[in-house]
Every structure is written in structure tokens, then in C-alpha cells.
Amino acid sequence: MSRQIEESKRELSRVMELLKDEPRGLSITDISRLLNMNRNSVSKYLNMLLISGKVDMRSIGVAKVYFLSHRVPISAMLDYSSDAIVVLDEKQKVVQANDNFISFTGYNRNELIGLRIPDSSLPVVTNPTVLKTINDLLRGEGEAKEIEWEDESGDFFYLVKLIPTVFDEGNPGVTIILEDVTEIRKALREKELLIDEIHLRVRNNLQVISSLLNMQSQGIEDEQSKEALSEAQMRLSALALVHENLHYSSDQQHINVAEYVKSLAEDISSGINTDCSGIDVEISADMDLGIDLSIPFGMMVNELLTNSFRHAFPDKKSGRITVTLKKAAPSVYTLTFEDNGTGFPEDFDRKNITSLGLSLVKNIAERQLSGSMDIITGKGTRIIINFAEENN
């Protein structure tokens, strides 16, 4: 091992000396020829010098030219960083640390330099995941990596960046950069709580409006007017259910489609004044939708389910409704709604839809989602809606 290190030192020095005499730089082929060294070895040593900052590279045409770097040494730059930085040698001992890292640990510089990280009780850097990554990098088995670290109380957050490092003599090391992201994470948490509260309040407000409509309908005798108010309530409930699902989701930004449609179908069937227990709803939609799509999607499915429950099965004793959502392309969704009910009447005109519910679905699909709606008539009902993931 020591013989290999000594050999690497000598070859690195030869490459450095050669580049000193060639300020314009040399290619790998040039260096290989002038030093009588094979190209793979030249490439390996140049990579080590690049990582250590001793050499820079630029492309001229198809050729890569290497020349001595004129960068400021890393030791002079450490204390200009706002992050806490520590450099370890191949034995995982501290060889360099900036003032921010020293302040972060509570040690003084003399106590810290030479301290072997795995044998210490230093915060963050002795985390098992961090230690494993350090070992991997020193063995040459890993690449630069970022790790999120949070203390047990949840009061402090750090982004830990581990970078493989090569010292002047060719020995491996690791540079660890600790970026304090506590304020950013706390701000994100506050934002998440605010969004969560908004969803909750919107849901509650929609439910209050729905209750007021219900109270209003109690004094109305005209059945057509009652049905109109009932449908308005269901639309409000569909919106409220979206916000309820967002409220309980892990990120307050997405809903699980299958869970949402299942809950929506249960709400609609229970809200109709007829026993719908014999109607089965099958759902095939193993995916999540973001908030921008969740609301229009919920409104469309609400109208389709309501129409089927109300009109597709006159006896309400048995029937099947199928709701399928899948990706037809990376950014295109296809919603297929089917039932085995009575279907549309023979004189149904797909180009001149008079039903408020279907008109609403068509407008949402075509105008809001820039998609399309296709109604297939015949036995039962089959409606296919295509829409894009991103819409204006």
C-alpha cells in the first residue's frame, strides 16, 4: 500500500512539473507521449489533480487540455464559507476545519485537529449514515452525496454534503460540508401547516354552505327545485371532499384517486333518497393527482356518478359502475367511466348536450383541462375523457 502511495506521489509530481513548463496546457495524448506513461494512468492522475484543485481543464474542439490551476488554496477559502466545513484524512482524522465547524462542535481547534471522527461524539458527522458514506468514499466505492439530518427534537436540520478529496501527496480524504437549513425547513413546515389549515377551512365553509342549501330545500315543495338544490349540495360536497383528502394527505398537495372516488361514491349513494346498495362501484386508479387536477377531476366524476346513480338503474336493485384512470402518455390522463345501466335514449345527440351535468363535464374537460370527451352510446354508458397533466 505504501509503495503504491509513493509511486502515485512520484507520478503526480512528474505530471505537475511537465504542466509547469506548458502554460497553454497539454492533452492526455501529449502528456502520455512526453512522460512515456500509458493513457489510462495519465487520465487517473489528472482526475486526482482535478479533484484536488491543482489542475484545470478546458475543451478545445474535441480535445481536452489540462493546465496548472491558479485557484486559491482550499485552506484559504474555508473561512469564507457560511457553512461548517471539515476535512478528514484516510484514517478519518480531522486535518482541517473552518471556524464555523469549530463553533458548531464546541471544541477548540487543538482538540479537534487529529480527532478521529468515529471515535468522537461530534454531532451530525457521527450519524451512522454519514459514517457509512465516509467509509465508502475512502474506499473509492461511492460518489459525492447529500444527506438530510434532523435532530431528535426536530429543532435543527442540516444538509450534509460529503465530497471525495485527494490531498497533494495523492492520499484519499473526505470533505464534509454542513449547511444549516433549519430556518428553511421551519419555514416550509409553517407553510405546510398554513396550507393544511386552508384546506380545512375551505372544507368546513363548503360544508356550511351545503347545510344551508339543505335547510333551504326543506321549505320547497317543487320536486324539480329540490333536485336542483340537491345536485348543488353534491357538487359542494365533492369539492369539500377534495379539500378533506388534501388535508389528510402527507404533503397537502395530492390526493389518492382511488380513495377519493370510493368516498365520493359512498357520499353520493347515501345522499340519494333511494336504496343504492345493490349498485357496485369498481375503481381502477392507482395514482395520485395534484391539487390543480384534483378539483376539476372531482367535479367531473361527481357529475358522472350522480347521473348513473340517479338515472342508469331505474329499480336501483343491481348494477355496476366502473371508474378507471390511467396515464395514456407521460403527461396525458385517460378517465373512462362506464356503467351497465339503461344507457342514453335513442334520440340522444352527442353534439347537442342539454343535460346540465354532462354539459358541466364537457366544459371542464375541454375548456378547463384542454382535453376531450367522447360519449359512446349503446348498451349502458361509456364516457372517455382525455386531459393533460399541465393545463392553463
Cβ neighbors of 245 (< 8 A, separation 6 or more) are 255, 256, 259, 260, 263, 294
State what percent of residues in the chain have pLDDT above 90.
6
List the single range of 19-23, 194-198, 232-236 with lowest mean pLDDT. Answer: 194-198
Higher pLDDT, 56 or 230: 56
pTM over 0.85: no
Residue pLDDT, tens place only, 302-337: 888 888 888 778 776 788 899 999 988 888 899 999
Which domains does the chain show, CATH number per domain? 2-68 (1.10.10.10), 74-180 (3.30.450.20), 184-388 (3.30.565.10)
Higher pLDDT, 352 or 216: 352
Given the DSSP bridges, would you call strands 55-60 and 84-88 parallel, antiparallel or unpaired?
unpaired
φ and ψ at 264, to 5 degrees?
-65, -45
Sign of CA dihedral 250, 256, 261, 263: negative
Helix 2-20 / helix 28-35 crossing angle, nearest 10 deg:
110
What is the enclosing helix (H) or strand (E) of 136?
A: helix 128-138
Residue 363: closest CA among 354, 372, 352: 372
Higher pLDDT, 329 or 197: 329
pLDDT at position 9 is 79
Residue pLDDT, tens place only, 29-54: 888 898 898 888 888 888 888 777 77
Residue pLDDT, tens place only, 113-167: 889 989 988 888 888 888 898 888 888 776 767 777 776 666 778 888 888 887 7
